[in-house]
Structure 1
């Protein structure tokens, strides 16, 4: 015995020991069809891939198991389906039950629609279908598999002792050919092609109006450049797109897309690029997009400002929503830049319905958003999208790509954030074409972009045209793991060293560029990330070359009344080097620590004071033989106070307490900024591994030891990454992919990722032997051999 059940909003499998949750599957949803396949084996031989008394479960094409039977049996003779007796008041629906041992059924036939066989009379006592020489009992009308090639069918029956038989009927399904993708594993998508319910890949260049696959209604004039049409790219990274053009001051163009299935709630996503067009003039250039009811009642709308005022100086690429009285801007973009839009709507929320609109840059950074905005007018369902230019605000162009609707079976929210694989086939211009993708299907209009989903996939196309049926053979392909580990390497791994952990350790920053997360002012020289210096890898170099200008890097954080900072600095020559903590005013309420050009270390509380007056600690001896350019580990503990005194701070250098109770320069309610500054000529300073105690991913002392630098790639735009050592709960990856160094020995590591929509991804599990040990690791020498 074995089985599958849904209980307490979880998928469960009946196996040895009882009923258990199926690991790694999302909770089932109401009103969603799930394709379920169960493979089982009772005998010793006869079925490859399973051991005796084992079974596995496939749900929407994903395999779970293998599992042991709940009770061993030599054969399965009954399929038992029940709602159960404990939880009343619900329903479940079943369709298209197929058995692999049926002569007419092949595994996978029920994944897509077939041909309906009807005949009269169809209520005989016994009826037998003959299909290409195979026979099966049927019970009335029957769905034939949609297989390419020539086919022949007959129906025979018996009723009250009388025999019945039809004549033989022959029909054919013409074979189609899938050109791409091919049956290989893909490690990168097709550039410029973005998945969507409508991606315009099937529309030829300059297809206009209702000839466009997405447009159902159109007004305009092609000859007067009042157009809604498709263009071939590439245009800033997008290959096929929809364009709204209006070059007339006395007219406009409009287009409508009618939803095939109006929705009361859902998510709409698309890409948008705006262009001011033209080279002169002060014309304001706007387009609009409305989401509305079929009687033109508007739920919500947005105004796209391609250009305000003149071509050069005017504000460009802004998006505003209508609040019932006026346009309110919520995203300030750039001309000729693609932005990803996501709209969540719910007609039943509030008194009228509500929507939220998010606009993202290509890297996933949020450009602007509005949340839970009331509809302009109430409606039961959202029925259509309305595109329009405006009569007086002409010469602007808006460009659109990859519209994705959450209610489309083949589209998952977030799919169009990344490029996919282009599906091409012949013929691709038939009257009706349907794509089967794993267990989901959707109507397509020609070439189509498949989503970039890791794992194995099967695609098949069925079509009808000119009274003929068409079908491709199923095509299997795979996409490698979205996340791929580059290092540590499999097997023996020798860390390169010099990587010190911090809230900012610069490991992922590009050599020669500014440090990420820091404001750089370098009018007095040059500041950049370099590969390393004196035992530290990936650091910031600050080199002042002139006595004028500024040489400073600044980082801003939320107000802190107390905390700890740790960092490394390495002065190269005797000069003044300042570390300044402030709350925005550089002249008062600050903590100033200086490595002074006289070789001492000083602080400023209104006047300069030497730290360690006995001269027992002078940094000058550390930049000459035998030390040569020592890295100082600096730790500052601070407490701000404006009531008892101005606040105080303590200092440690290289683990030694240098002094306590130093005062700030003036009243200091909080700190919110740190600067590394070279105020004078000819200074050269190196900075590394800056750690903040208020960083949840940093703990005091983390940067005292070297970390393990991990490298990985992702073929999708993910917003969060984590790692797991030895299958422990994932830890967020920060500080330039630097993690705590595992001990000397064998380890496993796995990388986890998540996109902005909550979709989760994992790398493979990487095994490695870490050939790194420090003084705290114990190494045992078992034997030493001497040989002459």
Structure 2
């Protein structure tokens, strides 16, 4: 029935009912169709135009639609002050008969980032005191917009549909912080409308780059859900949110291998290479991932550590070498855990405890290793630590072998559940 709160045109023809709901800070799936103005949770202030939750629009469920009245109007969301971050959302414009729609990131009423969508179907961004046309849009089609901003440099970058279109644009006005998402129109013809969906903020729990682009079978099927499964990283680039060293090879995202899509590849061609990811301190937890190697007689090390860049101390000292998964302590040296083979994906889970909370029954400075469902240990940390805050994947001076990693998941991720990365989305 069209009056059902979850109704979407043709929805009963779809096999997967979750398609059309977009993962974001605000995706409106809990809003009732027909909710208007400031009754919508995202909307703090409305001026002149009509703002309403509509049931569906071109494959998106539950979206905000703002309809013009011939004059000017807007609505906005106020968020906690931020000095840098990313804002991502979808927009859709029907026929624009007069003047322009506009979007701002602001501090109070003072704009820093300003974009206008013109009747000539231009997307124009403010670069300091001037305007630059960075792309065009098509009527009645959804587009994805991402803005990375930095109040420390008063600059921002722009991505449209995942493609970098502008970098280092200057704010219109110098700002120390930003606190407002603002969408409006300037004397737009009565009845014309703009829609938006899946507004995502990088400071929201569970945010990851491009998560609100998870919209179609092609986007999500075949990916293993995790904190880092790389679905929107570009093939041939370094992984987003990771620090890499490519002194002795390359550290890039590849399209697929062994039925895993978008995989992190460490290709050692002569010397040390590494990939490093950092999180806020945790004293206990679980890390799960998939790993695969072209030559298990070589060496790939995995350190889970604490400390600042360049001076961290290792707690969990684990790795692949001489045909085995193994761990290391100063007292024992390397100790083999289980034999492994070339060109096979292995699922690895590491449970660790730094203190006295007995996580998973562990005592202080101990960890378990679980490989393909079989648990080994407990083993000792290499060093006594109160917290862990980083994982480093790195090679030694061996060469001519490749390591692959996928679906790296952390138990402190808000969406984590044990083993959620075991199977691809189907």
Q: Distance in 2 between matches of 1:541 and 1:497?
A: 20
Match of 1:695 among 398, 413, 422: 413
Determine the C-alpha separation between the residues in 2 that align with 1:656 and 1:689: 19
Partner of 1:553: 275
Distance (Å, rounded) in 1 between the aligned partners of 2:370 and 2:290: 12
Structure-1 residue corresponding to 2:234: 510
Partner residue in 1 for 2:182 = 415
Displacement of 1:610 in angstroms is 2.4
Q: Distance in 1 between matches of 2:225 and 2:53?
A: 39
SS in 1 for 2:421: helix
> Structure 1: how far apart are the matches of 2:233 and 2:287?
21
2:339 matches 1:618: yes
Aligned residue runs from structure 1 range 451-466, under 5 A: 458=190
Alignment of 1:26 onto 2:38: yes
Q: Following the alignment from structure 1 to structure 2, what is the Cα–Cα distance between the partners of residues 494 and 63?
A: 30
Aligned to 1:702, the other structure's residue is in SS state coil
Aligned to 2:316: 591
**1:331 equivalent in alignment to 2:98:** no
Q: 1:561 to 1:111 in 2, by over 3 A?
A: closer
Calculate the aligned-residue CA RMSD, in Å: 4.6
Correspondence list, 1:386-397, <5 A? none
Do residues 675 (structure 1) and 392 (structure 2) align?
Answer: yes
**1:531 paired residue number:** 255
CA deviation after TM superposition for structure 1 residue 414, in Å: 3.7
Per the TM alignment, residue 561 of structure 1 is displaced from its structure 2 partner at its CA by: 1.1
Task: Tell me the residue number matched to 1:639.
Answer: 353
Q: Cα gap change, 1:656/1:477 in structure 2, threshold over 3 Å: closer, same or farther?
A: same
Deviation at 1:557, TM superposition (A): 1.2
Looking at structure 2, the residues matched to 25 and 692 of structure 1 have their Cα atoms a distance apart, in angstroms, of 38
| Distance across 1 between alignment mates of 2:101 and 2:50 | 27
Structure 1 residue 480, shift from structure 2 partner: 4.9
Partner of 1:567: 289
Against the structure 1 CA distance between its residues 503 and 488, is the aligned structure 2 distance closer, same or farther, given a 3 Å change threshold?
Answer: closer
TM-aligned CA deviation for residue 483 of structure 1: 5.9
Contact 1:602 1:608 in 2 (8 A): no
Are the counterparts in 2 of residues 514 and 520 from structure 1 also a CA contact under 8 Å?
yes
Select which of 380, 403, 417 maps to 1:685: 403
- TM-aligned CA distance change 1:414 to 1:691, over 3 Å: closer
Alpha carbons 2:213, 2:219 under 8 Å: kept = no
Give how far 1:184 is off: 5.6
Cα offset for 1:655?
0.8
Superposed displacement of residue 555, structure 1: 1.0
Would the alpha carbon gap of residues 543 and 333 (structure 1) be closer, same or farther in structure 2, given more than 3 Å must change? same
| Aligned-partner Cα distance in 2 for 1:540–1:661 | 28
Residue in 1 aligned with 2:300?
A: 577
Q: CA deviation at 1:23?
A: 3.5
Q: Output the CA distance in 1 between the equivalents of 2:260 and 2:196.
A: 33
Distance 2:70 2:260 in 1: 57
* Residue-by-residue CA offset, 1:32-66 (whole Å, 9 max, x unaligned): 9998xxxxxxxxxxxxxxxxxxxxxxxx545799x
TM-score (norm 2): 0.56
Change over 3 Å in CA distance of 1:528–1:240 after alignment to 2: closer
Secondary structure, aligned partner of 1:185: coil
Q: Judging changes above 3 Å, is the alpha-carbon distance between structure 1 residues 237 and 540 closer, same or farther for their aligned structure 2 residues?
A: farther
- Establish whether residue 630 from structure 1 lines up as the match of residue 340 from structure 2: no
Q: 1:494, 1:338 → 2: CA distance? A: 35
Which residue is equivalent to 1:125?
A: none
Measured in 1, the distance between the counterparts of 2:402 and 2:325 equals 16
Note the alpha carbon deviations across 1:621-679, whole angstroms, 9 max, x for none. x31xxxxx11110001111139998610011001111x222001121111111111112
Counterparts in 2 of 1:572 and 1:22: CA distance versus 1, 3 Å: closer
Partner residue of 1:500?
Answer: 224
Task: Tell me how far 1:689 sits from its aligned partner.
Answer: 0.4
Residue 664 (str. 1) matches residue 369 (str. 2): no
**1:590 partner SS:** strand
Conservation of the 8 A alpha-carbon contact between 1:580 and 1:593: yes
- The 3-state SS of whatever aligns with 1:26 is helix
CA distance in 2, matches of 1:62, 1:588: 53
Contact 2:36 2:51 in 1 (8 A): no
After TM superposition, give the deviation of residue 522 of structure 1 in Å.
1.2
Over 3 Å counting, the alpha-carbon distance change for 1:338 and 1:570 in structure 2 is: same
Cα distance in 1 for partners of 2:125, 2:247 equals 39
If asked which structure has higher relative contact order (CA below 8 Å, sep 6+), I would say 2
Deviations 1:64-97 (A, max 9, x none): 99xxxxxxxxxxxxxxxxxxxxxxxxxxxxxxxx
Go from structure 1 to structure 2 and tell me whether the alpha carbon gap of 1:610 and 1:186 turns closer, same or farther (over 3 Å shift). farther
1:479 matched to 2:194? The reply is: yes
How far the C-alpha of 1:415 sits from its partner, in A, is 3.2
Alpha-carbon separation, structure 2, partners of 1:562 and 1:638? 5
Match of 2:424 in 1: 706
Residue segments in structure 2 that go unaligned for 5+ positions in a row: 1-32, 55-68, 72-92, 112-123, 133-149, 157-167, 200-211
Partner deviation per Cα, 1:575-618 (whole Å, 9 max, x = no partner): 1011111112767442111110x212211111423234xxxx31
Q: How far apart are 1:25 and its partner, in Å?
A: 3.8
CA distance change for structure 1 residues 340 and 656 in 2, over 3 Å: closer, same or farther? farther
CA separation of 1:502 and 1:234: change in aligned 2, threshold 3 A: closer
Find out whether 1:604 has 2:425 as its counterpart: no
